[in-house]
Amino acid sequence: MRPIEGTLCLICGERIYSPYAVTENRGPRCGVCRRVEPVFARAAAYGSYEGGLRELIHLLKYGGVRPAANVLGRMLAETMATLENEFEQPSVALVPVPLYRARRRQRGFNQAELIARAALKNNACGGRFRLCASALIRQRETSSQIGLTRHQRRENLRGAFAVSDPELVRGREVLIVDDVYTTGATASECARVLRRAGAKTWVATVARTLNNSAQHAGIEPSAVRPDETADTEDTLARAVGG
C-alpha cells in the first residue's frame, strides 16, 4: 500500500506513459483532461486501487470493518496535505460524496464520511479543513455505469446530486472526498453541482484506478480510454448489495 509513483496527470492523477505529455507547458495532462477541461481544479489519490489497498477498502465497505477507516483516513490525510498549497482560503470545506439514503441505511454508514472523519483526526493541515458532511445530497440511486460511454455516464449521473444549502458552499473552496476514484464521473458530477452553487472544488480519494498495464506504454494518451476499463467494483458492489 504505497503511494502512487511515476508521471501522473497534473489534473486528474491518471498515470501517463507518453513522453510527449510531460513537455506540455501547463504540466503533464492525460488524454482525457486534454480533451475536456475538468470541472474540478485537481484530483489527487493516495494509492492505486489494487492489492492490499483494494482489500482494505472492501473490508470497510462490504465487510463493515469500521476500524479500517482509520488506516484509510491516514492515507487520505497525506493526500490532503499534498493539495494544501493550492488552497487560498483559511478554511476549506471537506465534503464526502454522499450515498443514497437507502444505501446508507443498508450499509449503516457512508464510507467516504468515515474516512474523512478519520483523516481530520490525523490533524491534516493544521485544522484547516472543516467537515461539511451535509453539503451534498444524493437524490437518487444511480444505475450501473458499466458499458456506458463518458457522455452516457454523465447523463446517468445527472440530477443524482444536489447542494443542500448553497449558503454553505458559495464562494468557498471545497475538497470533495471519496474512497475510490474510478472514471471521475461521480467526482465530476459532485463538482458540477458545487460549482453551480458558487464553490471551487478539488477532489481527494484514498485510491484511484490507474492505467497500469504495460500495453499502454508508448501509446498516445488520447488513445487510452480509462473510462472503459473501470467500474468492475460497481459490479461487485451490486453483487454483494454494497
Residues of this chain that bind Zn ion (CB under 5 A): 9, 11-12, 14, 30, 33
- CB closer to Zn ion out of 3 and 171: 3
Neighbours of 138 (CB within 10 A): 20
SS3 assignment, position 10 = coil
- Cβ–Cβ under 8 Å, residues 140 and 100: yes
CB of 87 to Zn ion, least distance (A): 20
Q: Three-state DSSP class for 74? A: helix
Q: Cβ 174 to Zn ion, closest distance in Å?
A: 20
Instruction: Name the residue nearer to Zn ion (CB basis): 14 or 113.
Output: 14
Q: Name which of 30 and 175 has its Cβ closer to Zn ion.
A: 30
Phi-psi region of 128 (alpha: psi -120 to 50; beta: other; left: phi over 0): alpha
Spatial distance between the Cα atoms of 57 and 3, rounded to a whole number of angstroms: 15
> With respect to Zn ion, which residue has the nearer C-beta, 11 or 187?
11
- Give CA–CA dist 6/2, Å, rounded: 12
Closer of 61 and 216 to Zn ion (Cβ): 216
Backbone φ, ψ for residue 91 (5° rounding): -125, 125
Least Å distance, CB 177 to Zn ion, is 19
**Residue 112's closest CA among 183, 186, 163?**
186
- Name the minimum Å distance from CB 95 to Zn ion: 21
Report, in Å, the least distance between residue 14 CB and Zn ion: 5
CB 204 within 8 A of CB 4: no
